[in-house]
Structure 1
């Protein structure tokens, strides 16, 4: 769209660019969405994701909708991506990106219009694991909702549906480890697949873009789903990793070393709501997390929806259900 956002701003919502720092001193770029003519102390949500997206895409759309419904909503770019700080561009960290959520809570809690006892998180896709991890370690976060969740540490270190063999896991670790020497020698940071694939003969594949510039004939359904969002007018953004390039090749190393959600039981008695598309290739992530803690984590399956339908398709995103969840759990 002409203003750089992939969705229209609701006429009843004000949007203001803001900046704040996380505890590592990295400046986080965000947009603050507030209902027009709002008064009193409102519930608030920090919103981010998908992994490799920017605040002008899905997270902004969610924040816009929540503000329309009476929340203060903060859509932010994680460290090292979009307009946020970090000298090395397009690198991810399970620790720092989890911290970004707590830093967003810091910021929201300082706003006069926010009730700091009613702050929650809304995450989309690959930032969901970080949101759940942040909530488990930060009691100020009263509730968490995710849509199309990915556990990026599981994805990077074990492959799709845990498909890596033990030997393949070792191959990926060796590749990433040796890439560090190459980067150090060159003084640059090479790009490479953040989820390293293998061909049918067991050979590791390499590339410097998440998605191809043109969709090849006979592309697999997962690639087609992501392409339809990130590489078309529907969701393309020039600052989004997934629309243009790839993460740094060594990004997966930290996700091998530090698995997300290792202490998910610390979330209780606070609640989480996980929303997944019935046809989403990522559905198993939400199902497996919910099965670990059914007493305080609920699961909603959206009929006929695929993974990216929950990025921006308002006819699929169950905003009424999400609103009801936060109304109850941010009370």
Structure 2
């Protein structure tokens, strides 16, 4: 059924009702040069997605600007690294928005902490729906950034949503590959089959218990040090999620156990070459444990594409280290390709 003009105007007005972001809830200092507003919008499944919209304070809302939507690290929230990207790029002339994936952060969806490749990809397109209907945004100039796990989600969204004109990833993780094949593709066929058996058994347990099993995740209070018994990769994530550096109460970096099943038949990057001729920028740290995801995706992608390596940076350093995140490169990439 078609909406009338008055109904569209009313809906748009409701979507424009915003509140200022509470700076105390951020893991970084809110700049005095931006305004940050809480916004909400529905994805195609009817789930309300929570986001923060960033605007430069000197923006002229009678004009139109290019926009960038930014996804969080896998298990993170908009108040962390995604917000840092959004704030910094807003100060450089873009309308930006960091959002929480469905079932996580402040977004709706029950039960909590479900991970779904289909839903997380859809959230990017829903963010395009919202930001592209702001009067001060040029809907022909919308780009996306995905950090860590949302890197692959942003690329998958771009594969089917041509409204996304340019994509950049930072410290990308391909979670479908990781959960289907294991670390460095080390999972055998037998191990994968056994994993599926265990997930099937867990679904019965979840059904009988009336709720899905959720691993404990990182501590719910900031830790003072990294436990010595952790392996190097877990230690790195602990440093960010569980210590003062990146701690946020909504980011336990844990998902329900049976969420893994959703990724087993959902390879995210099978059609990455179809993003062309829209450009892709892969940003990885020189010392990132995850760099093979970006390097392999770069090989699969068609031109135009670029692989940008940040000297000495680890995986998590591209979450929040403003002295390492190549914002000049991101600014030039989007200004050139959203022109």
Q: Partners in 2 of 1:46 and 1:131 — Cα distance?
A: 9
User: Which structure 2 residues correspond to residues 181-330 of structure 1 after superposition, within 5 A?
Assistant: 181-192=204-215, 208-209=216-217, 215-242=226-253, 246-330=254-338
- Secondary structure at the aligned position of 1:3 is classed as helix
Match of 1:46 among 69, 77, 85: 69
How high is the TM-score relative to the length of structure 1? Answer: 0.92
User: Which structure 2 residues correspond to residues 160-179 of structure 1 after superposition, within 5 A?
Assistant: 160-179=183-202
Answer whether contact 1:45 1:74 (CA < 8 A) is retained. yes
Residue 156 and residue 211 in structure 1: after superposition, are their counterparts in 2 closer, same or farther (change >3 A)? Answer: farther
- Secondary structure at the aligned position of 1:185 is classed as helix
Match of 1:34 among 55, 66, 69: 55
Using the TM superposition, give the Cα deviation of residue 35 of structure 1 relative to its aligned residue in structure 2, in angstroms: 0.8
Q: Partners in 1 of 2:167 and 2:252 — Cα distance?
A: 25
How high is the TM-score relative to the length of structure 2? Answer: 0.90
- Secondary structure at the aligned position of 1:259 is classed as coil
Runs of 4+ displaced beyond 6 Å: 211-214
- Secondary structure at the aligned position of 2:24 is classed as coil
Answer whether contact 1:147 1:276 (CA < 8 A) is retained. yes
Answer whether contact 1:211 1:227 (CA < 8 A) is retained. no
Residue 15 and residue 188 in structure 1: after superposition, are their counterparts in 2 closer, same or farther (change >3 A)? Answer: same
1:155-179: CA deviations, max 9, x gaps?
1111111111111111111111110
Using the TM superposition, give the Cα deviation of residue 241 of structure 1 relative to its aligned residue in structure 2, in angstroms: 2.7
Residue in 2 that maps onto 1:20: 41
Residue 210 and residue 160 in structure 1: after superposition, are their counterparts in 2 closer, same or farther (change >3 A)? Answer: farther
Q: Partners in 1 of 2:312 and 2:56 — Cα distance?
A: 32
RMSD value, Cα: 1.5
Q: Partners in 1 of 2:23 and 2:130 — Cα distance?
A: 29
Using the TM superposition, give the Cα deviation of residue 294 of structure 1 relative to its aligned residue in structure 2, in angstroms: 5.0
In structure 1, runs of 5+ residues without a counterpart are 193-207
1:257-291: CA deviations, max 9, x gaps?
11112211220100010100010000000000001
Answer yes or no: is 1:150 the counterpart of 2:173. yes
In structure 2, runs of 5+ residues without a counterpart are 1-21
Answer whether contact 2:171 2:318 (CA < 8 A) is retained. yes
Answer yes or no: is 1:11 the counterpart of 2:18. no
Q: How many residues align?
A: 313
